[in-house]
Amino acid sequence: MRILVVEDEPRIAADIRAGLERAHYAVDHAEDGESAWFRAGTEEYDAIVLDLGLPKLDGLTVLKRLRAADITTPILILTARDGWRDKVEGIDAGADDYLAKPFQMEELLARLRAIIRRAAGQSSAILRAGPVEVDTRTRMVTVHGSAMTLSSLEYRLLAYFLHHPGRVLSQSELIEHVYEAGSDRDVNAIEALVARLRRKLGVDLIETRRGHGYLIPDSTR
């Protein structure tokens, strides 16, 4: 799962990045509206955290442009505490949720989980496929009831799979959602990562669709 953080205040941006990385997300950062618009238009994100007061292009304009371009990525806007007009305008412009500054990181994480879940059509914070269960609140992973430890990358990949069961996910899609922009990302790396995750889980969960990608079956249907 990869998040774009759009925030011009370095300290807040660094705090958000640290909180998201602790929660195993890949994080890209844009510090003004122009680069946010460019990034969000050319890369795939699972969610965008968008400050409204930004240099070059304000957040509300970025939001409107993205929605006008049919980019449906879930967006959480950051507003001033007394900025009720911003909240109303932001929600009307297509924001999925808002958070007033200053905020607690735990609340940001919970709201992000919720908009990502909603966009994926999932209703529960606990994702299951076969014997594998992931509690997205605590990032606890269990297989047949026993807990296991995954690396950030492995967790990110598993979470992306579990948010999109029953759909063939191509290698290029997985690369977009697992690695940060500018990192060394290629098909070999994602194949190796899938192999590692399979080995760790130790169960037949991730199917290969030769020439197309990977799939985990949707056990709820």
**What residues make contact with Ca ion under the rule CB under 5 A?**
8, 51, 53
Nearer to Ca ion, 103 or 128 (CB): 103
Closest residue to Ca ion, Cβ-based? Answer: 53
Secondary structure percentages of the chain, helix, strand, coil, to 5: 40, 20, 40
Nearer to Ca ion, 8 or 34 (CB): 8
> What contacts 81, CB < 8 A, 6 or more positions away?
100, 101, 102
Residue 46: CB minimum distance to Ca ion, A: 23
Residue 8: CB minimum distance to Ca ion, A: 5
Going from the C-alpha of 134 to that of each of 38, 45, 66, 161, 173, the distances in angstroms are 33, 21, 31, 11, 21
Question: Do residues 2 and 27 make contact, with C-beta atoms less than 8 angstroms apart?
Answer: yes
Nearer to Ca ion, 51 or 176 (CB): 51
Residue 180: CB minimum distance to Ca ion, A: 22
Q: Are strands 132-135 and 126-129 parallel, antiparallel or unpaired?
A: antiparallel
Residue 38: CB minimum distance to Ca ion, A: 18
Residue 23: CB minimum distance to Ca ion, A: 22
Helix (H) or strand (E) holding 42: helix 33-42
Nearer to Ca ion, 61 or 152 (CB): 61
Beta bridge partners of 134: 127, 141
What number of other Cβ atoms are within 10 A of residue 207's Cβ? Answer: 11
Nearer to Ca ion, 59 or 165 (CB): 59
